[in-house]
Structure 1
């Protein structure tokens, strides 16, 4: 398939109270094996929306060719953009809206990107598959009893599920560690994309390609 797509959205509240030159950020989300984030910037009397692709690349000729639909409080427009390498190995920031506060609804801004990646036009970037299970949506939050954070990403999971299938998490959650009493635990030296695959495997959503030891 030449194109792969995903949806990312965020509701920003109390936007009218933002100070000039300040910003609000959505959570970092994993889509198609890459990390993405929505940002809202107040610049003078205008609001600017950014979609950041946080994927690191080494080749300056690499790019991610995207297009799709953008919505700001229901107002829709089409966009096309090539993410390329810039400073700090980040891909270029995508900016698609610049309007004053009259576009707000009850002081809020609901922002949505339906992103399509053209895999044939993209160069030097491995485009993964869309995740089969989401660990940071409302359903996951309702049934979880612990939050695992990795590189700004949050995974809302069940201690029992992880402890029953991983000796590491059994020791972490049920052992005599300080973390066993915490509701939010930071995990270090783990790739968030690989951890997403690991969790999908534990929850019976997919088969691991390769191996992740946790």
Structure 2
């Protein structure tokens, strides 16, 4: 029993009675709280450091992925086979400030798909006009081209302005923008040391007219034909077995698991009938169908149809007979992959001046392997 007002001593289990020391308890609680806070702070610090490392890794991984995607896209673009007729022209016009009202400046001519193309600029009523020009080649009396193209002014890689429009070259040799921008804007925004940089991207939708007479008729009078291929509104009467023997594409088309194999006619879309006429002639042994005007169209089709005979004849022509410029030949090699021809063309670059002119003209059209080969070549030139 205890007297009233006197605190009762607490009894330890299996031990002597003990009066609790409140100050010691408070001290211990404060110490424990501080330890917990320190542990929490350390954990938070470790967590933040881990998050930062993960973010760094994620950023590095993201950068790597983005770079791999770019490389993959470039490789896919180079390896993708297409029947589209496309090309790019780049031109630098000098001394623009000396142009007077009504003056034209003409860029260099470049051969693409049997015709020569160039960029033209004009000063008219204090406006800058930018045009795509074309010069008809061959002996065609009636010729026209339907195109989609863009015209672009640029300064470096950041500042640029582009217009896109239809171009129908039917009786005219130029098509573009009469008032691309004011002459004052051109001076203030696009001119660098009196030079104007213009880029044109052209997609040929349709070409009408042929630069050479037919060597073989594939009309209804064709002997031994058993199938009709419709191309651009024209009908080509062909022998399936002959095409299938020389082209894996037509072998699959005629004898594979396609609905076309059960028919006696089909349409080949996005194919130029003039190019197809020339391709068929070469496939049938008329190698005279290949010349500097028809070569690129034939190679374009054979990139998809993959006829070994056609590829060999085109290579032979390029190596022995073609009068195309060296840079144009390298562009064709870039697009249609031919290591033997690439090495031969590179061996023809014997001076640094020649090397610089080729790189300046073809920098946007060379494939990765040709660009690397040119870089190695430059190290051997004085």
Place the TM-score, normalised by the shorter chain, in its bin.
0.5 to 0.7
Q: Considering Cα pairs closer than 8 Å and 6+ residues apart, tell me whether 1 or 2 has the greater RCO.
A: 1
Shift of 1:194: 4.6
Change (3 A) 1:4 1:45: same
Deviations along 1:163-209, whole A, 9 cap, x unmatched?
xx99xxxxxxxxxxxxxxxxxxxxxxxxxx951189949x9259xxx
SS at the partner of 1:16? helix
Shift of 1:83: 1.1
Shift of 1:34: 1.3
Aligned match of 1:82: 168
- Between the aligned partners of 1:40 and 1:32, the Cα distance in structure 2 is 23
RMSD: 3.4
Q: How many residue pairs end up in the alignment? A: 138
- Between the aligned partners of 1:97 and 1:33, the Cα distance in structure 2 is 27
- Between the aligned partners of 1:97 and 1:81, the Cα distance in structure 2 is 13
- Between the aligned partners of 1:63 and 1:49, the Cα distance in structure 2 is 20
Aligned match of 2:134: 53
Structure with more of its chain in strand, by fraction: 1
Shift of 1:68: 2.6
- Between the aligned partners of 1:205 and 1:82, the Cα distance in structure 2 is 35
SS at the partner of 1:80? strand
1:100 to 182, 185, 192: 182
- Between the aligned partners of 1:80 and 1:35, the Cα distance in structure 2 is 18
1:124 aligns with 2:192: no
1:110 aligns with 2:110: no
- Between the aligned partners of 1:7 and 1:100, the Cα distance in structure 2 is 25
Structure with more of its chain in helix, by fraction: 2
Aligned match of 2:324: 196
- Between the aligned partners of 2:208 and 2:176, the Cα distance in structure 1 is 21
Give me the TM-score of the superposition, normalised by structure 2: 0.32
Alignment of structure 1 residues 1-214 onto 2, 5 Å: 2-56=83-137, 57-59=140-142, 62-73=143-154, 74-84=160-170, 86=171, 91-98=172-179, 99-101=181-183, 102-103=185-186, 104-106=190-192, 107-118=194-205, 121-125=206-210, 126=274, 128=294, 129=296, 194-196=322-324, 200=329, 204-205=341-342
Give me the TM-score of the superposition, normalised by structure 1: 0.54
- Between the aligned partners of 1:49 and 1:197, the Cα distance in structure 2 is 26
* Structure 2: runs of 5+ lacking an equivalent: 1-81, 155-159, 211-273, 276-293, 300-318, 334-339, 344-382
Shift of 1:112: 0.9
